[in-house]
Amino acid sequence: MSKSAHIDTFANDHLPPREQWPELVFDLPELQFAERINCAHDLLDQWVAAGHGNRPCVIAGGSGEVWTYAQLQAEANRIAHVLVDDLGVQPGNRVLLRGANTPQMAACWFAIIKAGAIAVGTMPLLRAKELTQVVQKARVTHALCDERLAEELDKAREQCPTLRSVVHYRSTAADGLESLSERKSAHFANVDTAAEDCCIIAFTSGTTGQPKGTMHNHRDVLAACRCWPVHCLRATADDVFIGSPPLAFTFGLGGLLLFPLSVGASTVLLEQAAPEVLLPAIAKYRASVCFTAPTSYRAMAAKAGEHDLSSLRKCVSAGEALPAATRKLWKEATGIEMIDGIGSTEMLHIFISHDESNARPGATGKAVPGYQACVLDDEGQVLPVGKVGRLAVKGPTGCRYLDDERQRNYVSGGWNLTGDAYLLDADGYFVYQARTDDMIISGGYNIAGPEVESALLTHPAVAECGVIGVADEERGQIVKAFVVLREGRVAGPEMAKALQDYVKAMIAPYKYPRAIEFRPSLPRTETGKLQRFRLRQEAPQ
Ligand code: 3UK
């Protein structure tokens, strides 16, 4: 291993022990990496050096302001000087980033990477309590925070003794980042980091309990750029990326920053990216590659006809299983065959997917070149075709939790176990069933909630739905559906009966929802995932 550039060795000191790491596989020619990498060079500086500096790079979705590659580089370099010269950031320090998706946030991210420090992204909606958990866990020393989101971080500071300095960006204050950076040189010599020096700690989204920090190094970042984007997405320098996931979520970091820059393309960063904002933004910026979650495509499909979406050529869905009904709606509305992909914070990005011409409704796809995948039983044996078990993957990236006992749950026998129940079909496609702990067992049958959801979603009255198991004396559990109806549809026993009959006719009748509850909306994480555990908490156990 090449010598670390980190002076602050916290990240290295808190990696899981080697025997708990997943096996890392680098068997493709494009996955041979140098021992020293600063990924900011490959993603940003390299383009300017190659004469690409005047090309558009990041675009502010609100104002339409365009930053070229050269401008983003100059701004990142100035901020890197602020970090190092004014704030005393040392290689290996953890720097928290807090803000919506903006060009300034992208510049801050690159500044942190250039300075050899570790970027700790945080979701804009996090409150003081959750920010405190992140700061304490990652022992964050510095923070760059959008002035508009200063309040919750201020509240957190009292409980965060390691956090030495907080600088606000998008600020006009005398001690704001812009005033500090405008005096600095636009040239910065990147810290010569080792390929295996940690550069991001991404906290896992959503679920309950203590957040888990996943550690990824400079090589992981480049490896992610050379697998799925090259083999499945195949974007070019002329593409304009757009989408909804926050840059703090690795789905967004990859899709809206790393991947566009890895091919010299441009990316529209939207501060708000609800479906009703995303649609006109696609038209306004003539975006060609869109990243968002299945529910967002479903909502957008209904309004697609009101916007000029002729620029769109690739639509990526991830974060949750893509129901066949949603794929169909989007295709009918836009003519585009979506690219589905399963990724995780632990794996950094997508590892099972397909390209547009190999899409199979209801299936996620095949292992992305560079990755291997299989379905294992509870003893870790590979299951034959058609059997439901645990999804296991390995490749050039993998799970390394920051100081966390749960490493043993995610990694076993060299495989990353994502917590998803899958089956492999006869043609080599992986078909999602449910989260392993979301399987419903009713009257002795295993029922995957998402399959029932997919069936319900094909009914014209259903806008959204979530299916869980609730305790039942006779059957152990019964299937319960929470349904959001489309505008103008009437909730009630008649509608419930109609939906039940509909599901019975569509999939094996024992899977039909014996209970149906109508809701105005469903609980979701900021990354768009349905929080089935919240539905379960509300239901009698
Ligand atoms: C679920 C999917 C079926 C699955 C993510 C793309 O979602 C991402 O990361 P998270 O850590 O969650 C991981 C879990 O989400 N999931 C994601 N995509 C799909 N299930 N089909 C899909 N296409 O349970 C997985 O284990 O929040 C997604 C890229 C980067 C990411 N971090």
Q: Where are the domains of the chain?
A: 443-538
The number of beta carbons lying within 10 Å of the beta carbon of residue 503 is: 24
Q: Does domain 443-538 have CATH number 3.30.300.30?
A: yes
Nearest CA to ligand 1 atom 28: 343
Q: How far is CA 143 from CA 109, 163, 403, 494, in A?
A: 11, 7, 21, 54
The predicted pLDDT at position 286 comes to: 98
| Longest pairwise C-alpha distance within the chain | 72
* 192 pLDDT more than 50: yes
The predicted pLDDT at position 206 comes to: 52
Helix residue ranges per DSSP H, 84-141:
103-114, 128-138
Structure tokens at 205: 């989204």
Q: 435 CB less than 6 Å from ligand 1?
A: yes
Q: What value does the mean pLDDT take over residues 506-527?
A: 92
Structure tokens at 364: 């996620």
Of 208, 253, 317, 320, the one to substitute when testing ligand 1's pocket (max ligand atoms within 8 A of C-beta) is 320
Least reliable range by pLDDT among 43-52, 131-140, 437-446, 514-523: 437-446
What's this model's pTM, rounded to 2 decimal places? 0.94
d(CA 286, CA 291): 14
Amino acid at 318: A
Q: 441-447, long-range: CB within 8 Å, 24+ apart, which pairs?
A: 441/469, 441/476, 441/477, 442/469, 442/472, 442/475, 442/476, 442/477, 442/478, 442/479, 442/510, 443/474, 443/475, 443/476, 443/510, 444/476, 445/510, 445/511, 446/388, 447/479, 447/510, 447/511
Residue identified by tokens 């636009």 is 186
Q: 350 CB less than 6 Å from ligand 1?
A: yes
Name the pLDDT band for 541 (thresholds 50, 70, 90): very low
Structure tokens at 14: 């808190």
d(CA 377, CA 465): 29
Going from the Cα of 26 to the center of ligand 1, the distance in angstroms, rounded, reads 22
Amino acid at 527: T
DSSP calls for 419-468:
EEEEEE-TTS-EEEEEEGGGEEEETTEEEEHHHHHHHHHTSTTEEEEEEE
Q: What value does the mean pLDDT take over residues 422-444?
A: 92
d(CA 178, CA 175): 8
Q: 349 CB less than 6 Å from ligand 1?
A: yes
Nearest CA to ligand 1 atom 23: 342
Q: What value does the mean pLDDT take over residues 331-354?
A: 98
Going from the Cα of 53 to the center of ligand 1, the distance in angstroms, rounded, reads 34
Q: Who's near 133: CB < 8 A, 6+ residues apart?
A: 210, 211
Q: 390 CB less than 6 Å from ligand 1?
A: no
Q: 205 CB less than 6 Å from ligand 1?
A: yes
The number of beta carbons lying within 10 Å of the beta carbon of residue 7 is: 11
Q: 320 CB less than 6 Å from ligand 1?
A: yes
The predicted pLDDT at position 475 comes to: 86
pLDDT digits (tens, 9 = 90+) for 9-56: 999 999 999 999 999 999 999 999 999 999 999 999 999 999 999 999
Q: Report percent pLDDT > 70 for the chain.
A: 98
